[in-house]
Amino acid sequence: MALELPTPIVAQCWTSAFIKDLVVLPEARRRGIGEALLVTAFGEFQRRGEKQVDLKVQTDNPTGAMRLYKKLGMREVPLGG
Protein backbone atom coordinates (compact mmCIF):
# COMPACT_ATOMS: atom_id res chain seq x y z
CA MET A 1 0.00 0.00 0.00
CA ALA A 2 1.40 3.43 -0.89
CA LEU A 3 0.29 6.96 -0.25
CA GLU A 4 1.25 9.59 -2.78
CA LEU A 5 0.97 13.22 -1.74
CA PRO A 6 1.88 16.44 -3.51
CA THR A 7 4.21 17.61 -0.70
CA PRO A 8 6.23 15.77 1.95
CA ILE A 9 5.02 15.09 5.48
CA VAL A 10 7.55 16.21 8.06
CA ALA A 11 8.08 15.78 11.79
CA GLN A 12 10.74 18.08 13.16
CA CYS A 13 12.33 17.08 16.47
CA TRP A 14 14.97 18.82 18.56
CA THR A 15 17.88 16.99 20.16
CA SER A 16 15.95 16.77 23.44
CA ALA A 17 12.77 14.74 23.65
CA PHE A 18 10.68 17.72 22.57
CA ILE A 19 8.54 17.44 19.48
CA LYS A 20 8.52 20.90 17.96
CA ASP A 21 6.26 20.43 14.96
CA LEU A 22 4.16 17.58 13.71
CA VAL A 23 2.03 18.38 10.69
CA VAL A 24 -0.02 16.18 8.40
CA LEU A 25 -1.68 17.73 5.38
CA PRO A 26 -5.45 18.02 5.78
CA GLU A 27 -6.11 15.70 2.85
CA ALA A 28 -3.86 13.03 4.42
CA ARG A 29 -5.34 13.11 7.93
CA ARG A 30 -7.20 10.24 9.59
CA ARG A 31 -4.98 7.64 7.89
CA GLY A 32 -2.63 6.88 10.78
CA ILE A 33 0.23 9.01 9.48
CA GLY A 34 0.47 11.25 12.55
CA GLU A 35 0.36 8.22 14.83
CA ALA A 36 3.09 6.50 12.82
CA LEU A 37 5.29 9.60 12.99
CA LEU A 38 4.80 9.90 16.75
CA VAL A 39 5.42 6.21 17.42
CA THR A 40 8.62 6.44 15.36
CA ALA A 41 9.74 9.55 17.26
CA PHE A 42 8.89 7.91 20.61
CA GLY A 43 10.94 4.86 19.64
CA GLU A 44 13.93 7.02 18.74
CA PHE A 45 13.67 8.96 21.99
CA GLN A 46 13.49 5.69 23.92
CA ARG A 47 16.54 4.40 22.04
CA ARG A 48 18.38 7.54 23.17
CA GLY A 49 17.42 6.85 26.78
CA GLU A 50 14.92 9.68 27.18
CA LYS A 51 12.40 9.17 29.99
CA GLN A 52 9.68 11.52 28.73
CA VAL A 53 8.60 13.35 25.61
CA ASP A 54 7.32 16.92 25.62
CA LEU A 55 5.36 18.94 23.12
CA LYS A 56 3.12 21.99 23.10
CA VAL A 57 -0.32 22.04 21.55
CA GLN A 58 -3.16 24.51 21.60
CA THR A 59 -5.96 22.99 23.66
CA ASP A 60 -8.50 24.25 21.12
CA ASN A 61 -6.62 22.66 18.20
CA PRO A 62 -9.42 21.53 15.86
CA THR A 63 -7.40 18.80 14.11
CA GLY A 64 -7.84 16.06 16.70
CA ALA A 65 -4.24 16.36 17.86
CA MET A 66 -5.15 16.25 21.56
CA ARG A 67 -7.14 13.06 21.02
CA LEU A 68 -4.16 11.45 19.23
CA TYR A 69 -1.67 12.47 21.91
CA LYS A 70 -3.89 11.09 24.68
CA LYS A 71 -4.45 7.88 22.70
CA LEU A 72 -0.68 7.38 22.64
CA GLY A 73 -0.38 7.86 26.41
CA MET A 74 0.54 11.52 26.66
CA ARG A 75 -1.01 13.60 29.41
CA GLU A 76 -1.63 17.28 29.90
CA VAL A 77 0.66 19.25 32.18
CA PRO A 78 0.36 22.95 32.87
CA LEU A 79 2.76 25.27 31.07
CA GLY A 80 5.89 25.58 33.15
CA GLY A 81 5.05 22.42 35.04
Give the model confidence (pLDDT) of 1-57 as tens digits.
Answer: 444 555 555 655 556 788 888 888 898 889 999 999 999 989 988 988 888 888 888
| pTM strictly above 0.95 | no
CA 55 – CA 28 distance, rounded (Å) = 22
CA 40 – CA 46 distance, rounded (Å) = 10
pLDDT at 4: 56
Confidence of residue 76 (pLDDT cuts 50, 70, 90): confident
pLDDT at 72: 93
CA 64 – CA 52 distance, rounded (Å) = 22
Are residues 33 and 24 in contact, defined by beta-carbon separation less than 8 angstroms?
A: yes
pLDDT at 38: 92
Q: What domains can be seen in the chain, in order of their start residue?
A: 10-71 (3.40.630.30)
pLDDT at 79: 76
